[in-house]
Amino acid sequence: MATNKSITVEELTTCTICRESFKDPRLLPCSHTYCRQCIERMASENKDQFECPLRDGFVAMKKNIRSLPLNKAIRDLVELHGKQNSL
């Protein structure tokens, strides 16, 4: 049976690695998004490779992480959410 779960803005704007608002969110080919710094840190801890924690099979080499595309939609959502919270 399918469930109808609402996703909050906080969930959409939070990196599942560092559990903080995204900083420099990078989009992986598997469509998951993480902070660039989180991806680089995990790659440093794992033989200069980053494996997506939510998807088996995707691996990024540390030297290629900066070339991952910026997730502009998530970046803009983080900025908008931050502005709304500061009002």
Query: pLDDT tens digits, residue range 38-60?
Result: 998 988 888 778 888 887 776 77
Looking at the domain assignment, is residue 70 inside a domain? yes
Cα 72 from chain centre: 11
Looking at the domain assignment, is residue 54 inside a domain? yes
Looking at the domain assignment, is residue 13 inside a domain? no
| CB-based contact 9:77 (threshold 8 Å) | yes
**pTM of the entire structure?**
0.81
Looking at the domain assignment, is residue 20 inside a domain? no
Looking at the domain assignment, is residue 53 inside a domain? yes
Looking at the domain assignment, is residue 55 inside a domain? yes
Contacts 24+ apart (CB under 8 A), 59-67: 60/28, 65/26, 65/36, 65/39, 65/40, 66/36
What is the structure's pLDDT at 60? 74
Indicate the average pLDDT of the chain. Answer: 87
Looking at the domain assignment, is residue 15 inside a domain? no
Domain range for 38 is 25-85
Domain count along the chain: 1
Please tell me the distance from the alpha carbon of residue 63 to that of residue 48, in angstroms, as a whole number. Answer: 8
